[in-house]
C-alpha cells in the first residue's frame, strides 16, 4: 500500500503522517510513505486543502488531520 501525504511539512502534515502509519500498522499492512510538498504537484493531483492523504493514488482525507481510527475505517 502506498500512503501519500500532501502538504507543506507543517505540524498537521506530520501528525496526519503519524496517524496514517499507525492505522496501517494496526491493520498489519505493509506500506510506503510518500510526502508531496511541491505546490504544483499538490494542485495537479487534485488536492485543494492540505493536509491530505491518498491511499494508492485515491485521496481519502483532505483538509484535516484524521485520527488513526478514522483512517483505519477508510482503508479497510
pLDDT, tens only, 13-37: 999 999 999 999 999 999 999 999 9
- The residues annotated with a catalytic role in the active site are 10, 13
pTM of structure: 0.93
CATH 3.90.1530.10 for the 2-75 domain, yes or no: no
pLDDT, position 65: 97
Q: Using CB atoms within 10 A of its CB, is residue 40 exposed (0-12), middle (13-18) or buried (19+)?
A: exposed
Set of cell numbers at residue 64:
484535516
Amino acid 76: pLDDT: 85
Amino acid at each position: 500500500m502506498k500512503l501519500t501525504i500532501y502538504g507543506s511539512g507543517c505540524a498537521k502534515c506530520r501528525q496526519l503522517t503519524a496517524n496514517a502509519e499507525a492505522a496501517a500498522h494496526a491493520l498489519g499492512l505493509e506500506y510506503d510513505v510518500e510526502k508531496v510538498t511541491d505546490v504544483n504537484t499538490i494542485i495537479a493531483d487534485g488536492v485543494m486543502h492540505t493536509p491530505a492523504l491518498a491511499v494508492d493514488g485515491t485521496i481519502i482525507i483532505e483538509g484535516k488531520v484524521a485520527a488513526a481510527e478514522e483512517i483505519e475505517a477508510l482503508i479497510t
